[in-house]
Structure 1
Amino acid sequence: MIDILPESQGNIIGIRASEQLTDEDYQTILIPRLKAIIHEFAKARVLFLMDQDFQGWELDAMWDDAKFGATHRHDFEKFAVVGGPLWVEWGAKLGALFMKTQLRTFSNDQLQEAWAWIKS
């Protein structure tokens, strides 16, 4: 499940991921919101927070993520990954190699630091 965090404003979007992310999460929540930000501001800044119960992505959601990231690889200014298992951190770092973005990873107890970085 994806929730948009209330701190989101302007070209900054905070996303809370819990349980398992689905194709519906991407198609109805995340992709439309990111497209609107990119259309209005040209570049998006994303804070991706994984709850303790985060279980990863369904296969279709993984495909949505990869396809959108590849299509918009120049449209992300900063990307903060907060919490989650180590494999997600490594996956994000690998994905960032193909995108024109600054990427930083933070532990769950560094959430405020992540917000400060994404806003700077």
Structure 2
Amino acid sequence: MGYYKHGVSIGLLQINSEFVLSVKAVGTLTHEDYQHLIPMLEVAINKIDEPQVKVLFDATEFTGWEMRAAWDDLRLAVKYGSGDKKVAVYGNHDWTGWATRVGKWFMSEGQVESFNTYEQAVDWLCEPEMAL
């Protein structure tokens, strides 16, 4: 029997001394996925004391969005994107490079980069902050 899985899972990781918001997208996201995701994400974000967080986005099983879901994602990025300190996207896809360039438009203070592997993403995400 075949099945098709899609959706988003969200968690909190501690990597060494860093707390990181972990996001994994699977399959093609739908508008219905965002209808379930957005209220849960808003509750989690509103409970974070530190306004800027580090995000580790696993795109290894992510294949994209339906059109309406892409709009939902854009609205979410506009609303919350400026609260991210660093976003590391990893997954060996051709589109992750241009997707991170688009993501930079919505991050007024933070950084977003794409990587092929989990290890590369974590190394960058958790590297010591440089004092200005």
TM normalised by structure 2 equals 0.70
1:57: how far off?
0.6
Taking the aligned partners of 1:8 and 1:36, their CA distance within structure 2 comes to 20
Instruction: State the match for 1:117 in structure 2.
Output: 124
Distance 1:43 1:49, change over 3 A: same
Are 2:85 and 2:111, in contact at CA under 8 Å, matched by a contact in 1? yes
Q: Which residue of 2 aligns with 1:48?
A: 57
Q: Which residue of 2 aligns with 1:7?
A: 13
CA apart distance, 1:58: 1.2
* RMSD of aligned residue pairs (Cα, Å): 2.6
Structure with larger RCO (C-alpha < 8 A, sep 6+): 1
TM-score, normalised to structure 1, is 0.76
- Given residue 67 of structure 1, which amino acid in structure 2 is its aligned partner? R
Moved more, 87-96 or 58-67: 87-96
Are residues 84 and 18 of structure 1, via their aligned partners in 2, closer, same or farther at CA, if it must alter by over 3 Å? Answer: farther
Residue 11 of structure 1 deviates from its aligned partner by 5.7
Indicate which of 38, 44, 48 corresponds to 2:45.
Answer: 38
Contact 1:12–1:119 (CA<8 Å) still a contact in 2? Answer: no
Q: What is the DSSP-based 3-state SS (H/G/I as helix, E as strand, rest coil) of the residue aligned with 1:98? A: coil
Query: For the pair shown, which has the larger CA radius of gyration, 1 or 2?
Result: 2
**SS state at 1:45 partner:** strand
Q: Which has the higher helix share?
A: 1
Partner amino acid for 2:88? A
SS in 2 for 1:63: helix
The count of residues paired between Structure 1 and Structure 2 equals 116
Higher strand share: 2
Q: 3-state DSSP class of the match of 2:81?
A: coil
> Secondary structure at the residue paired with 2:82?
coil
1:71 is the counterpart of 2:82: no
Gaps of 5+ in 2: 1-6, 128-132
Contact 1:79 1:103 in 2 (8 A): yes
Native 8 Å contact 2:86 2:125 kept in 1: yes
Alpha-carbon offset, residue 113 of structure 1: 3.0
State the distance in 1 between where 2:53 and 2:69 align.
Answer: 20
Q: Secondary structure at the match of 1:36?
A: helix
